Amino acid sequence: MPPKTKFSREDIVNAAFELTREKGIEKITARDIAETGCMSTRPMFNYFYSIDKLRGAVLEIAKELFDEYIEDGLKYSVPFLGFMSEYIQFAKDEPMLYKALFISKVDEKKPSTIAAMEQSKAALRKSLMRTYKMDADTADCYFRDMWLVVNSLATLIVTDSNPYADWQINAILTEFSLSLCMAAKNIKGFANGNYDRDAILSELVARKHMANARAEIKAKRTKINDIPAIIAGEPSDKAFLYIHGKMGYKEEAYNFAQYACPQGYQVIAIDLPEHGDRKNSKEKLLPWMAAPEIKRTYELLSERYSSISVCAVSIGAWFSMLALQDKKIDKAMFISPIVDMEKLICTMMEWAGVTEDELAERVKIPTDFGETLNWNYLSWVRKNSYKWDKPTDIIYGGKDNMTPRETIERFSKSCATTLTVMEKGEHWFHTPEQMKVLNRWMKANVQGGIYDN
């Protein structure tokens, strides 16, 4: 009777898996695996009649680990952004496994990059349609093009050819995503490729001068209170503090800086928690964390600048009002500001069909439109009101689905503000027409004039 095998199938596969993690799957041989486990090659062939079969078992485990990353990404408040983030994170954490799964040629039957793409696309299609208000064909086109960029960046990472810092990768993904969203919404026939390319390119060339203007702005990267920041413009005694909104990042301030800097301002922008260079920060995008950061940033800036103004976007405006309501602000410029967070949360509860009693009992309830309702957040909002009486200019989109028209009008009358309404505008100003209006508004108001819409 032959002796019992000392090593189990699981022992052998795990040894091969760890060796693949270290050296790559092409380098794996029966001898290499035997040496790691101090065994002969015979136990392997008791379970696997060829090294290819063993490699196949390793790839199955690698795919399971990859799927775990993707599943974590799908739990993000915006699942598609989570998918992109976790796809690249897998390439960073497990470069050899990524290459084994998607680049190496050792097994023609292994999962392909295209198969992985199709699987993820199917999982994210409904989320994309809901989040970006796209039809199925446009969502598939958007996913395909974004995935090509994500896969290219991941390949650069695992082949040690990546020249980009994390903030640059985030900027690339955000800018490309914005470009695709703009194209999908504004170019008829974009999803099926049936549009006038020459006409579109001509329009892009006509706007090149704006990009050149931005490139001429003197700027530097720094940290303020250990928070990643940028300072744009020549040294001055007056400054604009720029606070981005949700899914934004500090580099957005460059567009504003092209109008503020020529007027003698320096523009200072920081990344809010979980955004930009702080994507994985321990701090969260919560008012009791974000507002104190903005307040501390202001206090540090007040030691250097004699005049401080603020330009803020969406939820960034709300955070700014919470933080700076008792500070000296010479001028405020708000873009699609959230001015009544309690009302917004209650509206989201109505969208989700959630009652206050249900939310109080469950505390956190995910929704199918990408937000998680949070009882503690709502309770904090109700206990922490604010009073804003600073000279403020507001631009608001007539189709803003976050803040009702009557709410923004009531707020604008409660303090010394001017309210500009772009009737065709949305909460997110992003189309060429919307950006044209926004830029004119910024230019006029930073110069101290009144924008005539």
Query: Can you point out the beta strands (E) in 168-226?
Result: 219-224
Per-residue pLDDT band for 205 (boundaries 50, 70, 90) equals: very low
Locate tokens 């992003």: which residue?
Answer: 430
Q: Is the pLDDT of residue 3 over 50?
A: no
Q: Which residue has the higher pLDDT, 208 or 231?
A: 231
How far apart (Å, rounded) are the C-alpha atoms in residues 221 and 391?
A: 29
Radius of gyration for the alpha carbons in the chain, expressed in angstroms and rounded:
26
Average pLDDT over residues 164-173: 84
CB 333 within 8 A of CB 309: yes
Reported confidence tier of residue 16, pLDDT bands at 50, 70, 90? confident
Res 26: pLDDT? 76
Higher pLDDT, 221 or 32: 221
* Predicted pLDDT of residue 209: 40
Two structure tokens written together for 156: 């650069």
Please report the pLDDT score of residue 84 as a whole number: 85
> Which pair of structure tokens corresponds to residue 138?
């446009």
Of the candidate ranges 7-16, 218-227, 254-263, the one whose mean pLDDT is the lowest: 7-16
- The whole-angstrom separation of Cα 286 and Cα 282 is 12
pLDDT of 82 over the 60 cut: yes
Query: Which tens digit of pLDDT belongs to each residue from 372-431?
Result: 999 999 999 999 999 999 999 999 999 999 999 999 999 998 876 799 999 999 998 888
Confidence of residue 2 (pLDDT cuts 50, 70, 90): very low
d(CA 394, CA 408): 9
CB 326 within 8 A of CB 390: no
**Does the CA dihedral 334-339-341-345 come out positive or negative?**
negative
pLDDT of residue 93: 92
Q: Which domains does the chain have, with CATH numbers?
A: 9-167 (1.10.357.10), 218-446 (3.40.50.1820)
Mean pLDDT within 258-280: 94
pTM above 0.75, yes or no: no
Q: How confident is the model at residue 234 (pLDDT cuts 50, 70, 90)?
A: very high
Task: Place 247 in a pLDDT band, splitting at 50, 70 and 90.
Answer: confident
pLDDT band at 113 (very low <50, low <70, confident <90, very high): low
CA 271 to mean position of chain CA atoms: 12
Mean pLDDT of all residues belonging to the chain? 84
Task: Specify the pLDDT at position 123.
Answer: 74
Going by C-beta distance under 8 Å and a sequence separation of 6 or more, which residues neighbour residue 199?
A: none
Task: Specify the pLDDT at position 244.
Answer: 96
Angstrom distance (rounded) from CA 139 to CA 146? 10
